[in-house]
Amino acid sequence: MGHTTRRHLMTVATASAATAAAAAAGAQSEAQPQGGKQDPREKYPKPPFPKQSQPFPGLAGRMTPRPDHGETSYVGSGRLKGRKALITGGDSGMGRAAAIAFAREGADVAINYLPVEEPDAREVVELIRRAGRTAVPIPGDLRSAAFCRSLVEQAVSGLGGLDIVVCNAGHQKSTPSILEISDEDFDWTMKTNIYAPFWIIKAALPHLQPGSAIIGTTSEQAYDPAPDLYDYAQTKAATMNYVKSLAKQLGSKGIRVNGVAPGPIWTPLQISGGASEGKVVTFGATAPLGRPGQPAELAGIYVRLAEEDGSYTTGNIYGAGGGQGQP
């Protein structure tokens, strides 16, 4: 099947859920080259972006331009056939891109998100189902240990098992001074970014058979922390660290553990307090590619870390930083 035909079919199959994403996807397809090669600088919108802010946690559906999570572009080829995945923060951003890709690669997918993110989550559920896979939406707040345990149980019963766990949800609040970070703020960031993966992985482990994969979303901030992300950046360093520790611990059980380290990516996290309003306008400008990344540009990394083909990859961090950050 030719590229155009496949692309057309995918577009038709996902038409209604993807309609709202058309702006971002349109920007991509307009720049689509002849011959399958594309200038990465021109592929997606560049700064300056319109000034915008939403209350935490923000909705992808209300961003201008809308992020591209691969709604109209990701084409699967059975790389995760029959797999069962739980993705936290699966309603938007990197989690949504992973959810769409996993489903199109043949996996059933449970997504967790905050109840106020239901409008974004509903689109993802529709996209998973249109890919012919089971979608299990599980709203709830990861700052609760009891909820994290119940999340895993609900995912296992809804999917009929579990073999991919993506701890991707995160909380980021830009604060210029440590003096302005309250104990409650600090605790919020730690609970979401550090405690929740601990609770979720502990609860999931008894269900994970050899061949299973755990993936954490870390950040360029783990290696090169920004001054206004004092609390957030250290959770990302901890994520990078737990990935490496757990990979050593779980290697003998045949379970792989890896991390993804994005650079600046156009997601609700940034426009709902993660970046200052001024930084949103110029977001991604400092990256050598001259623009922020889109979640769709990381989908293949999550697939790679989950799939059978990646069987010797464990304890590794894969970056997508647009030319900045280490690695």
**Residues forming the active site:** 232
Q: Which is nearer to Mg ion, 95 or 212 (CB)?
A: 95
Q: How far is CA 184 from CA 78, 190, 228, 237, 269, in A?
A: 44, 10, 17, 21, 19
Distance, in Å, from the CA atom of 66 to the CA atom of 123, rounded to the nearest integer, reads 13
Q: Which does 172 bind (CB under 5 to 8 A by kind): ligand NAD, Mg ion, none?
A: ligand NAD
CA dihedral 177, 180, 184, 187 (to 10 degrees): 10
Q: How many CA atoms lie within 13 A of 143 on its CB side?
A: 11
Of 18, 124, 142, 296, the residue at the interface with ligand NAD (CB under 6 A) is 142
Q: How far is the CB of 7 from Mg ion (least distance, A)?
A: 27
Of 138 and 213, CB closest to ligand NAD: 138
Residue with smaller CB distance to Mg ion, 105 or 117:
117
Q: How far apart are CA 22 and CA 300, in angstroms?
A: 21
Residue with tokens 């970014």, as numbered in its chain = 193
**Contact region with ligand NAD (CB under 6 A), list: 43-51, 112-120, 178-186, 223-231:** 112-120
**C-alpha angle with apex 129: 124 to 135, nearest 5 degrees?**
70
> Going residue by residue from 248 to 277, which x/- string records binding to ligand NAD, judged by CB under 6 A?
--------------x-xx-xxxx-------
Stretch touching ligand NAD by CB under 6 A, among 29-37, 71-79, 137-145, 310-318: 137-145
Residue closest to ligand NAD (Cβ)? 93
User: Using the rule CB under 5 A, which residue among 91, 105, 123, 228 binds Mg ion?
Assistant: 91
123 is a contact residue toward Mg ion (CB under 5 A): no
Beta carbons of 306 and 95 less than 8 angstroms apart: no
Options 68, 105, 117, 307; binder of ligand NAD; rule CB under 6 A: 117
CB-based contact 26:11 (threshold 8 Å)? no
- Of 71, 117, 163, 220, the one binding Mg ion (CB under 5 A) is 117
Smallest gap from Cβ 247 to Mg ion, in A, equals 28
Interacting residues with ligand NAD between 186 and 205 (CB under 6 A): 192
Q: Which does 170 bind (CB under 5 to 8 A by kind): Mg ion, ligand NAD, none?
A: ligand NAD
Residue (27 or 280) nearer to ligand NAD, CB: 280
Site string for ligand NAD, 89-108 (x = CB under 6 A): x-xxxxx-------------
Q: Output 60 or 238, the one with its CB closest to Mg ion.
A: 60
Binding site residues, ligand NAD, CB under 6 A: 57-58, 89, 91-95, 112-114, 117, 141-143, 168-172, 192, 217, 219, 262, 264-265, 267-270
Binding site residues, Mg ion, CB under 5 A: 91-92, 117, 268
